[in-house]
Structure 1
């Protein structure tokens, strides 16, 4: 189960070092950078997030600056970490209780952070309210590509299950669009590599990442093709209002390719 090979711990990184390329080859890891936040900015039409992504800013530092009224320059890593936890947590409907546990702060402080977040980014709250109303009405949500995700829990007699359904409905268009995009990239990738005269082959997908094996001599050219295909994968079906960004690197093992 390669989806679950850890990456954030020292042990996980050591395990990833065991995945190596064949002689004369390198592994290429190509990863969408913050794709779900970028899609939230597009789908929810969030001007502040769009501006940050278009300017190439550090999105978590930019969010912290908006929320806490502090400049990005010289910002403490702790302030950025808090904004990062909220940025990613909001997509999954994080509660004050969940955020407090994640950041090691009390629930009142976490609740105040979430309140401030919605005040600074009212478009996110609007998107959530809009989506909740829509899923209650029709029982499903759609991605920007038109794929339907049915949410049966929204019709449950249990209040807890209905709340779960609401959170799933908010997240599904974002996570679903990210899945659509990487699938579109995967479908186009073999043809694009062949057209470029490359012997590089795609090995697998892990979440927002694609892993390839390439002859050492063509690694640089392969990275350029891979990034182009992945960054334009939404087109022409959907013109995203924020750029997609792909981080790609070649190395002898999976860990070093990150």
Structure 2
């Protein structure tokens, strides 16, 4: 009803959103402030996810909102100490880059190597429209498909996400696979490997076990097949940022920088740094993160890192 323009349902949704922000964040985060340090400290679980991603608890600082304007206001409460700045260093589209590498998709590899807008490029390929002056809604559809493909999105899921008919969403997905046939081959090969072996591997050879991949329950089997497709990509991204984190203290010390690594949020690292060291720290951190796969692997795509410094987390992100 809200999507159809009715005022009252939209107000209910707005209230629910604000109520969630209040109960989950603004009311509870202050209770987690350590009286000795004046800071909020989270705990990380190293092995609680199947893909290898770190999990944050008590409180979970990996789910601080970022997608909505009201949600991002929560991030403005995370501020640097006096005389310092926060640096947010974030891998740019790392999962799409790893898909291009793992599935060996020439068009995607070329686009990343040339620094193109990958979503605009995909939209141009799929919908035969020039990148210059592209309608933002066309790019938005391509973006949803790009990221949805990684998670094995269905026509039903894409239709809900874009607010279109399921038939139209199915046509988009079919067209995507025709434009990038290597992705379908990767999916089919990965599912076949998982059914045969009961696991998949990251690019570093770490195994991710899928014990229910051959389930007799169709829904469970379908879910595990989607997990099998995504796990090598998300798991490889988790491996890469862990390698970067391990190397970071030595790199900062070598560069005579006093920055402290505060937080990891999946593809993002947060640092606190003296203002006068911000620029050099951004350069050092970006260098470590972008080269984290080496020397074990030479990726077919560059790993780009966006690093910014600001007084609070929202402005740095």
With the shorter chain as reference, the TM-score category is: over 0.9
Higher helix share: 1
Larger Rg over CA atoms = 2
CA distance in 2, matches of 1:145, 1:118: 27
Q: Which runs of 5+ in 2 are unaligned?
A: 1-59
1:249 and 2:308 matched: yes
**Aligned length in residues:** 258
* Higher relative contact order (CA closer than 8 Å, sequence separation 6+): 1
Report the counterpart of residue 164 of structure 1 in structure 2. 223
1:9-67 CA-to-partner distances (Å, cap 9, x unmatched) read 11211110000000000000000000000000000000010011001000000000010
Match of 1:233 among 279, 288, 292: 292
- Provide the aligned C-alpha RMSD in A: 0.5
Q: Which residue of 2 aligns with 1:215?
A: 274
The answer for unaligned runs of 5 or more in structure 1 is: none
How far apart are 1:156 and its partner, in Å?
1.4
**CA deviation digits over 1:134-157, x for unaligned, max 9?**
001100000010100001121212
Residues 65-119 of structure 1: per-residue CA shift (max 9 Å, x gap): 0101111111000000000000000000000000000000000100000000000
Runs of 4+ in 1 over 6 A off after TM superposition: none
SS at match of 2:283: helix
- Aligned-pair CA distance for 1:248: 0.3
TM-score, normalisation: structure 1: 0.99
- Normalised by the length of structure 2, the TM-score is 0.81
Give the distance between the partners of 1:127 and 1:144, measured in 2 at CA: 14
Judge conservation of contact 1:153–1:164 (CA < 8 Å) in 2.
no
Secondary structure, aligned partner of 2:315:
coil
Task: Write out aligned runs for 1:26-41 (5 A).
Answer: 26-41=85-100
